[in-house]
Amino acid sequence: MSKIPAVGVLGSGQTKFVTTRTDVTFPELVREGSDLALADAGIPIDEVDAFVFPLAPDALIGVGNGERWCVEAVGASGKPFMRVNNGGATGMSAVITAWTHIASGMFDVVLVAGADRVSESGSAQSVLNKMWDVGYERPVPLNTITMLAMSAARYMHLYDSDERDMALVSVKNRAHAALNPYAHLRKPVTVDEVLASRDLAWPIKLGDACPASTGAAGLVLVSERYAKAHGLRPAWIRGLGQNTETYWMGDRVGPKVVSDHADADALGEAFWHAYRQAGITDPRSQIDVAEVYAPFSSVELHVIEAAGLAEKGQAPKHLAEGEFALGAPGTIVNPSGGVLCTNAIAVTGAVRVAEAANQVLNRAGAHQVSDARVAVASAIGGDHQFYSTMVLSSDLEEIA
Amino acid sequence: MTAQAESGTDPAFYEQTWDLSYRHALGETTSRFLAGLAKGEIWGRRDPASGRVLVPPRSYSDRDHTPTTDWVKVANEGVIEMFTVVYEPFRNLPDPPYALAYVTLDGADTALVGYVKGLDLSDREEAVRRLAIGERVVVAFADEPTGTAADYWFEPAGD
């Protein structure tokens, strides 16, 4: 029995993610995401009632309000259309928006489709530097790598962790990505190779970092009414969570800190919001698959903990014991290889949901988790600030 | 096979630069903080509900949305809460290496970000050791203030 309106992910599609694509314009790339999602869902575009378009900072693609450029590409002419931008969480925020569209009763079929070409600016971190406060913080060259390097430094300090623990995440995810034909970085790596890779911002090295990816993705969401009327079997969204952390990283440390920048406590609350809706009380035994947003290896450590799959500071111990990797007992984390291996920013959150849906429908291919029924997906945007979570399952029965 | 490969046409490109200049008004609270820097002073604002002193100063609390009440001068030294040393060049950002840290100054309850200068960063392990969380630093101020947050940075406190 569902505690929230039943909305399903009927189908999804992804292009192969790469560094650059010169054979298409940006809208043509978006169209690939739209077409792949519709083909996978098995419905024509005429069936789509409304469109949600994920697009992160305009400056990454170099076109102001780039959603206007892509109306025809997703197939939205003559129909409702909305752009969503929530930084790194954009893709999942777009899916949540589509869920809301359907849960409200307004629409039965909503398409989320988009793309990104992160490398095209030649300077993604210069773009991302522009998110900090112009009076206090902009004169210092913060970017998303330094922001998360400082989180990693705190995690290491609080939990007596080291760079080797981070490397374990990269090794696991690269091995997973080698099985995922859509992933960008598919070459397996060793701990020693990660540790020997060049320093970006200590303790983050190249081997701990996501690539700047180009590619498209899309999902078709449907109402329970529509699914039943057409005899369809989507992956069902069983719970959702959203939460927001303060803009100021300096407020996440200090003598009276509430939520440490080492951790992701606000994300943890978002996970538990979704879990309560889904009826999950023990994530370690009830969740088969976690597709979590972690663009750097260090981030996956505290996201695993926020998801309730390990106690605080304990994710490295579980990883070292071989947990979370394909073939291990318990929850498998990022069987697709995750964001660490593919990060087309605008659609990264949407890909998490698409992968989670494929897993519970047992359609994930070589990186399928055996007999997966329940999956959780998450995304993070802003300066580790906007959090989204979603639980999916293969049916609407109680999650025991 | 892609249409491009079929046609045998070389891909075309269009290059552009976004050359935009902004003059951001920083408001009374930030302006007063920046004016303090020219006098070698760091000021925060007190959040009445929690009693915390917010540095950098904000006109409203980050937690309960209420206005902060009074100005509090904090010390020009404090403790490193988190840091990084950057070795990778990023376009339009400074040449590496450089060190950044969030520092809670004595008397403040939140941390201020800044460069940490006065360290040899060519030896990564030594730099990381000297920047360790819990290490003390002092605030240094520019001899010729620019009226921006670039007018201060941190340096190791010495022995």
Say which residues have a Cβ less than 8 Å from residue A247's Cβ, sequence separation at least 6.
A133, A382, A383, A385, B62
Question: Which residues on A lie below 8 Å from B90 (Cβ)?
Answer: 123, 125-126, 129, 141, 143
Nearest to B128 among A137, A202, A246 (CB): A202
- Taking the Cβ of residue B87 and every Cβ of chain A, the question of whether any pair is shorter than 8 Å is answered with yes
Can you give the pLDDT at residue B5? 62
Taking a C-beta distance cutoff of 8 angstroms, is the pair A389, A270 a contact? yes
Can you give the pLDDT at residue B14? 94
Can you give the pLDDT at residue B3? 57
Query: Three-state DSSP class for A80?
Result: coil
User: Tens digits of per-residue pLDDT, B106-144?
Assistant: 999 999 999 999 999 999 999 999 999 999 999 999 999
**CB neighbour burial string for A250-266, b if at least 16 within 10 angstroms, e if fewer:** bbbbbeebebbbbbbbb
Taking a C-beta distance cutoff of 8 angstroms, is the pair A263, A383 a contact? no
Domain boundaries, chain A: 7-122+212-226
The answer, yes or no, to whether residue B1 has pLDDT greater than 70, is no
For residue A123, give the H/E element and its range: none
Type of residue at A188: P
Can you give the pLDDT at residue A115? 98
* Domain at A7-122+212-226: CATH code: 3.40.47.10
Among A63, A129, A197, A248, the residue to mutate for chain B (most B Cβ within 10 A): A248
State residue A15 phi and psi, 5-degree precision.
-85, 170
Average pLDDT, chain B: 94
Taking a C-beta distance cutoff of 8 angstroms, is the pair A77, A69 a contact? no
Structure-block tokens of residue A19: 């560094």
User: How far apart, in Å, are the Cα atoms of A26 and each of A13, A31, A187, B15?
Assistant: 17, 9, 27, 14
* Contact at CB, A249 and B113, closer than 8 angstroms: yes
Can you give the pLDDT at residue A1? 44
* Contact at CB, B86 and A136, closer than 8 angstroms: no
- Taking the Cβ of residue B92 and every Cβ of chain A, the question of whether any pair is shorter than 8 Å is answered with yes
**CB neighbour burial string for A48-60, b if at least 16 within 10 angstroms, e if fewer:** bbbbbbbbbbebb
Give average pLDDT by consecutive 10-residue segment, chain A, 400 residues. Answer: 85 98 97 98 97 94 94 96 96 98 98 94 85 94 95 98 98 98 98 98 98 97 98 98 95 93 97 98 98 98 98 98 98 98 97 98 98 98 95 95
Nearest to A201 among B16, B33, B86 (CB): B86
Question: Which residues on A lie below 8 Å from B55 (Cβ)?
Answer: 250
Question: Which residues on B lie below 8 Å from A204 (Cβ)?
Answer: 84
Using alpha carbons only, what angle is made at residue B68 by residues B62 and B72, rounded to the nearest 5 degrees? 110
What is the reported pTM? 0.97
CB burial of residue B110 (10 Å; 0-12, 13-18, 19+): buried
* Contact at CB, B52 and A136, closer than 8 angstroms: no
Taking a C-beta distance cutoff of 8 angstroms, is the pair A383, A251 a contact? no
